Structure 1
Amino acid sequence: MIATAKIRRRTQAAARTAPKALRYRAISGHIAVLLDTGALVRTGDILDRLGAADLKDGYQSWYGRHVKKAYIAANDTDPVRVWVQHRTTGKWIHVHAYNPFDIALYVGLASYKQTKHLAQPAFFQAAYAEAA
């Protein structure tokens, strides 16, 4: 009987959160689709690709701020924003999305002290050698 009540509570909780997820997904529209297909990336995606996913969330956030600053300096406009679920907490957050080849992503790497080592030429050469 206890297991049945537990399953019922989980089902009810899932039913309450499903409309919220659908609402945020609808708000984000085609930007979310581009993010899912890889046509746009988040700063966390770049850190994952570079093997720096183990950075604390606070460091990742500051890296994102450096990227945004570099993007605004280059384009005189804010980057595109999209609603996504936070990777660890599951809460819906607003993040910026960038072209995967946008120079601001790499300027942000070089300008932030916690990610500066990822922007070194030797690091990129080693990453390309492993990929080949």
Structure 2
Amino acid sequence: MLRTVTAIRRTIRAALAATKPLRYTALSGEIAALVASGRLIQCSEYLRRLGLGETTIRSLRSWFGRYAARAWRTANDREPTRVWAIVDGEYRHVAVYAPTSSVFPAATACYKRMRTFNIRFELAA
């Protein structure tokens, strides 16, 4: 019993000494590794890849993410994968998708503010 209590105390002490980024990475687990490798991306990264400026991305990303999540739920009947990420200096639980996911064109088509950018999607031959 004493060994168990000692092990628990050590674990708690180690957890308290861990840095905030380490704790959030541990919470996200394998998903954080997939995001770091680029196999999953946030909506803001998708908007960045379209060539939009940072101020435009900042103003669009929240609503664009909602449209993307709605498209994901419609297509898959479940919630999108989420990861803890730093957004504007704060850790937030954000949805992530594969870069080739169909949710991005669907969200772009549904979100009226995106129409001003004249973004078109075509199938590669």
Q: Normalising to structure 1: TM-score of the pair?
A: 0.72
> 1:117: how far off?
4.0
Q: Secondary structure at the match of 2:112?
A: coil
| Number of positions where the alignment pairs a residue of Structure 1 with one of Structure 2 | 106
State whether residues 48 and 57 of structure 2, in contact with CA within 8 Å, keep that contact through their aligned partners in structure 1: no
In structure 1, the residue matched to 2:109 is: 110
1:60 pairs with 2:61: yes
Per-residue deviation, residues 30-88 of structure 1 (Å, max 9, x unmatched):
100100101101000100000124315242100000000001000101110100111xx
Q: Secondary structure at the match of 1:82?
A: strand
Unaligned runs of 5+ in 1: 1-15, 126-132
Report sequence identity in percent. Answer: 36
CA 1:38–1:81 in structure 2 vs 1: closer, same or farther (change >3 Å)?
A: same
RMSD: 2.2
Q: Secondary structure at the match of 1:114?
A: helix
CA 1:118–1:76 in structure 2 vs 1: closer, same or farther (change >3 Å)?
A: farther
In structure 2, the residue matched to 1:85 is: 86
CA 1:84–1:95 in structure 2 vs 1: closer, same or farther (change >3 Å)?
A: same
